[in-house]
Structure 1
Amino acid sequence: MALHDGEPLPANPDRKDSLAAIRVAVRRKAEMKQEKADLDSLVSDFGLLSVGATSRDAESSISGGSAFAKLMAASCFRHRLPSPRDDALPPRQEAHALVQYYMDNIYALYPAFPETAIWATLDNIYQAGGDQALSNADHWLFWTVLAVASSAQSRSSQDEFYNRGVDFIARAVPYAEKVLTPGAMSTIPSLVLLTQYAMYDPRHFDTWHCMGFTARVVLEMGLHQDPPSHDVRDKNDLETRRKMFHCVYALDRTVSMGHARSFSFTDSAVDVALPSSSGLGRIPSISGHIRGPQSNSPALHLFQLRRLQSGWYQTLYQSGTTVLPDGQSFLWKACHELREWAELLPPSLPSDVQRLFNLELEWSYVYCLMPSTRAPQATEYRQSLLFEHAVSFIEQVHESAFDTRSAPFTTYYDVMRVYFIGTQLVSLLRAAFDLIVSGRPVLMPQSDGGGVPAPPLPHRFFQLQFEDNLQRSMKAMRFVHETLARFGERWEDALRLLEVFEGMGGEVRGMLDRRAAEVQQQQQQMQHMQQQIQHPQYPQHP
């Protein structure tokens, strides 16, 4: 329905206003009729799609293009894209800078296509008549990379980076019908790029549906299973295949966990080794045993983190509602693996990537430790851990949001994470206010002998040593507000989440303010008593 623009319906028309009521009824009837026609068309088109793992769209010429692309357009487009402001190529220097930004900050995490492909396309498109020799896939690659790179640097929905990103994706869309064809290997990186752009521009694209189509193509083509060794003829092709799959895997876990929904496919269906390109070294195993040098590739470390997150997320949130008999041990083991992953990260990783991974780590701790149906028991130690990691995430994301530099791959899902962590902090303070605010020491649970010990409480930064938990709680609540407001300059929905958070956190803020007033009053009384002791006033006799 988002494709059909028109005059908006009146909000809550007065029942006495018969004309308004009739207008609403007529409009709704017309919308239902249009929706039925759209669904009939989509069902007709869907019947033409191939379900084979290696075949192309059977009738790509019907109705002027690929039925698969038409189905994607109807599902993934939320608002109609504006027409590009001009048809000219951007200056080559600008295009080169955007491609370089994409390669340094996003491709380093999601290497879904050969690196040489985009550079060759860039050279060819600026040669005299070179763009005439390019394929539809080359044009799609060029414009979507520019769109993602430009949108990634936007800090406001009104700035030039955002507007240029919308222009570039509008230039790419006409090639979609020829590029997004099921059964073609080149479709996968094309869909990955579309999903990445959707994560920056949820106004025009639905990321959830983009991700769903991408995962479906991967599964139908069988990329979720490594081919038998005797069928592997080219190791480079195998590496490319593995990179494509793990890029889709990593994005699917990000999108699904961000929406608190089920994954597109479970880990039990996957049998794909991590890519091990020459010169990147070996990535540490999940068990922590290292053979060979640590990898400097951010993508490989991200892939490993997504595997860890996927494991405990499936157990806690996608495996029924039965309470785990050893829930606490399971949580401690999951936290141990996350901490082990972080400790094995090489210090040579770029600082922006390290900051990104730190945020991922703190978010993972909170997501794993928060009360769930399968691990509902909220012990005092678990609550203390949850508070420390929630505050750490909020402080770090606040600093990142107000940093003048553009952090790599900061998308709308970071808005959802800030809101999510903020609501967890509110729930925690409401449930264990005295424990958290008092900062009362909590004993670490003893290990049962064969299990993994409880993770230690994280050390605070030096500048926080002089802040008590009351001050930290009040500051964290303020930081959530300021961060969502800052993100609201870029994503309109962040302001709506801010309104919800403000309504939800009103009670807790009141509790914090009252406690702060009590503490201040006690301090004033103590100061008055000390002054009386130090400077006693004796009665004066005549």
Structure 2
Amino acid sequence: MHRAGQSAADTPLLRVSRPVSACSRCEFNRSSAGKQRANIVHTGRAAKIKVRRNSFIIKCDGKLPACTACEKSGRVKECSSANDQFAKGKERSYVASLESRVEKLEKRLAYAKLRKASVAMHDVDGPPTELPDRKDSLATIRAAIHGKAARKREAADVNELVSDFGFLTVHATTRDFEASTTNMTFARLILSATTNDKVPEPRSLQLPQRFVATTLIQYYLDNIFALFPVFPETALFNAMDKIYQGGSQPVTDFEYWIFYMALAISSTAQSRSNTDAYYHEGVSWIGRALTYADEVLVPGYVSQIQALVLFVQYAMLDPAHFDSWQLIGFACRAIIDLGLHQDLPKEQQTDKNAVDMRRRVFYCVYTLDRSISMVHARAFAFTDDSSSVAYPSMPVTVLNRDRKDSVSGPQSMETAHLLWQLRRAQSSWYQELFQSSREPLPQGSNYIWRMCQEMREWSDSFPDSLPLVFKDYFDLELLYSYVYCLAPSCRVHVVSDYAKGLIFEYAIAYMQKIFPISQDPINTAFYTYHDALRVYFVGSQLMAVLSNNQDQLLSGIAMSYPPAGIGSPPPMPPPSINGTDSTNRSLNCIHHIKETLRTFGQRWEDSKALLSSFEAQAEPVIASLYMRKQLIKDGSPARHSPPYLQQAGYDQRVYHIKNEWADVNPVFNNPNMH
């Protein structure tokens, strides 16, 4: 019987789930013969034993009961669990656990009563509500349990996926992410990380006419492959032959990839607008190529790196769809994981052609990584100290002249070899000036003169057989490198007046060369969206020096050479200058920068943002230049810039320019820069 006013929940009957036999806790002096078992009911720490059939004399010794194993084996007195020393706060008392459970239930019951009273107080004025049906309550609890389980499964799936990503960033050669084992393939990971805008499905699955494909392949070989010979030329020829033979020979996924990628790169490279036929055809071909991505971009093979190089080349031409910086990062990771950043030991270099191809793959990735990282003002994927690869040999490529197609590739790798040498020089000073530290560089000017002298010697080594389109391409790279190396950096904060004059002259020389190339209706060499970034950078440096040193730069007085230290290289000479006065040259250069960015804006939308940013920088400088021209025309001495032109410090101005550059596009964010 329960007490009046108390429910069953208030006075729970806690029964021991097992009968207690004669144990060390209680000594039974039985008054009757035979062994009897007593059923006990515990109501507290002291046990009251209710004897149903016989009267027992009970004396509790206060010890713990022996374990079941000792009871069965007859070693009750030897049981260690009943040892007083062991029992000092370390045993798991059954009675204590029951009491603890009772206390928890009492607290929960009191809390439930309190909540019920609170709810009743708030609802006293409201209409009476029916108590929820027990079945509904159970259904709600069951739904909550299922929902919690579903959330746990989802969280586990997300954690597993994230752990997969983390594993891939360390081991890009893993074979555990193939379509046969999981839905997460390495190709899908790459595409999800590098896609800016999804490529539409290809409009047609038909092959282009063979002469059209031949023309596009020829363009690729002449203008892009000559700079990045990442696979043998015969691989591209064989792929085209097999594809157009109508299935008489099996075609691998990699052959489909390089064929469609070459078509996509060639079409997009010849585009003049993002609305013309060349661009749309390029997007269509890239869509066809991506259907083979799962099989081609499988990690652990050199073919994956070759496929990624082609992907990077297309991304440089189509930044609206793909991020070239992310793609080249994947390629560099694969290079390191496969060990291509180190030459094989001499005893393993048995196949000369294989060694040369291995080196060519490395330097193609190296060249793209250095170029892309510099235009985005970001750190390289790996340093020069971590790699040790000799240049590949430059054999003359002998092609089969009996081919019925009029396709002929480059006869040597001289062009690619020159580009590799330039990227080595750029990588050296870029790491030293921008990526090594922020401590001022001792004798920074001497270091810059030495780097510029090395690049100048590189330009003097051009062979006479170098095609004109690549000579112009390399001249632009050289002028851009001069401006970049002379500009303020993390280790050379203060730029001398002579260096500012060189920036002024080389920036104008750069624009005089790239402006006609940008206006040419026929695209040659390999000019990409990154050239728009270079134009913007050079223009920003020009605005910086004109904002602070206009009087010195436009006075017409020849620059005097600074004294050279003992054992240091001489300062770099300025380029040849025509007879036009510096004020008009500055205005013409600013006009060329605007028109070049406007032309590039027809191909790449991001170039329009670059143009808007540059126009904001150039507006006060243009007003100052026109005021200067008017003063010269009126015969007044123009010794000083107009008072409304802000004379900010050059270093501060460059810092401001780089911040604006970073705001134009998120890819410019770089914590390692100023």
Tell me the TM-score normalised to structure 1 length: 0.83
The DSSP-based 3-state class of the residue aligned with 2:300 is coil
Matched, 1:192 2:305: no
Matched, 1:174 2:174: no
C-alpha distance in 2, partners of 1:211/1:259?
A: 13
Q: 1:297 aligns with which of 414, 429, 439?
A: 414
The Cα of 1:56 is off from its aligned counterpart by 4.5
C-alpha distance in 2, partners of 1:47/1:380?
A: 49
C-alpha distance in 2, partners of 1:523/1:434?
A: 14
The DSSP-based 3-state class of the residue aligned with 1:393 is helix
Matched, 1:159 2:296: no
Q: 2:437 aligns with which of 316, 320, 326?
A: 320
Match of 1:98 in 2: 216
Change (3 A) 1:173 1:45: farther
Q: 2:616 aligns with which of 503, 508, 530?
A: 503
Matched, 1:346 2:459: no
C-alpha distance in 2, partners of 1:37/1:98?
A: 49
Matched, 1:406 2:519: no
Whichever residue aligns with residue 86 of structure 1, its letter is S
Matched, 1:454 2:567: no
The Cα of 1:347 is off from its aligned counterpart by 2.1
CA contact (8 A) 2:395 2:413 kept: no
Match of 1:434 in 2: 551
Q: 1:128 aligns with which of 229, 235, 246?
A: 246
Whichever residue aligns with residue 363 of structure 2, its letter is H
The Cα of 1:431 is off from its aligned counterpart by 1.6
Q: Which aligned pairs between 1:109-508 and structure 2 lie closer than 5 A?
A: 109-130=227-248, 133-279=250-396, 297-460=414-577, 465-508=578-621
Q: 1:519 aligns with which of 628, 632, 643?
A: 632
Matched, 1:69 2:187: yes
Match of 2:648 in 1: none
Higher relative contact order (CA 8 A, sep 6+): 1
CA contact (8 A) 1:485 1:498 kept: yes
Change (3 A) 1:487 1:42: farther
The DSSP-based 3-state class of the residue aligned with 1:133 is coil
Whichever residue aligns with residue 471 of structure 1, its letter is N
CA contact (8 A) 1:81 1:204 kept: yes
Change (3 A) 1:65 1:236: farther
The Cα of 1:363 is off from its aligned counterpart by 0.2
C-alpha distance in 1, partners of 2:540/2:180?
A: 49
Cα RMSD for the two superposed structures: 2.1
Whichever residue aligns with residue 324 of structure 2, its letter is T
Superposed CA deviations along residues 236-289 of structure 1, whole A, max 9, x for unmatched, are 000000000000000000100010000000000110001113238xxxxxxxxx
The Cα of 1:40 is off from its aligned counterpart by 5.7
Whichever residue aligns with residue 534 of structure 2, its letter is R
CA contact (8 A) 1:113 1:240 kept: yes
C-alpha distance in 1, partners of 2:532/2:586?
A: 20
Change (3 A) 1:324 1:38: farther
Point out the structure with max Rg over C-alpha. Answer: 2
C-alpha distance in 2, partners of 1:48/1:341?
A: 42
Whichever residue aligns with residue 244 of structure 2, its letter is Y
C-alpha distance in 1, partners of 2:561/2:167?
A: 60
Superposed CA deviations along residues 412-440 of structure 1, whole A, max 9, x for unmatched, are 00000011111110011012111111132
The Cα of 1:383 is off from its aligned counterpart by 1.0
CA contact (8 A) 1:324 1:374 kept: yes
C-alpha distance in 2, partners of 1:257/1:439?
A: 33
Per residue, is there more helix in 1 or in 2? 1
Q: 1:58 aligns with which of 163, 176, 179?
A: 176
Tell me the TM-score normalised to structure 2 length: 0.67
Matched, 1:108 2:221: no
C-alpha distance in 1, partners of 2:614/2:546?
A: 14
Change (3 A) 1:50 1:254: closer
Q: For this pair of structures, how many residues does the alignment match?
A: 470
The Cα of 1:333 is off from its aligned counterpart by 0.2
Change (3 A) 1:395 1:202: same
CA contact (8 A) 1:207 1:255 kept: yes
The Cα of 1:67 is off from its aligned counterpart by 2.3
The Cα of 1:176 is off from its aligned counterpart by 0.5
Whichever residue aligns with residue 207 of structure 1, its letter is S
C-alpha distance in 1, partners of 2:164/2:209?
A: 40
The DSSP-based 3-state class of the residue aligned with 1:472 is helix
The Cα of 1:133 is off from its aligned counterpart by 1.2
Superposed CA deviations along residues 387-416 of structure 1, whole A, max 9, x for unmatched, are 111110111111110112212110000000
Change (3 A) 1:40 1:481: farther
How much identity, in percent, do the aligned residues show? 43
Superposed CA deviations along residues 30-65 of structure 1, whole A, max 9, x for unmatched, are xxxxxx999768525426749557x54224025765
Q: 2:200 aligns with which of 82, 91, 113?
A: 82
Whichever residue aligns with residue 456 of structure 2, its letter is R
Superposed CA deviations along residues 195-220 of structure 1, whole A, max 9, x for unmatched, are 00000000010111111101110011
Whichever residue aligns with residue 163 of structure 1, its letter is H
Whichever residue aligns with residue 322 of structure 1, its letter is E
Whichever residue aligns with residue 594 of structure 2, its letter is H
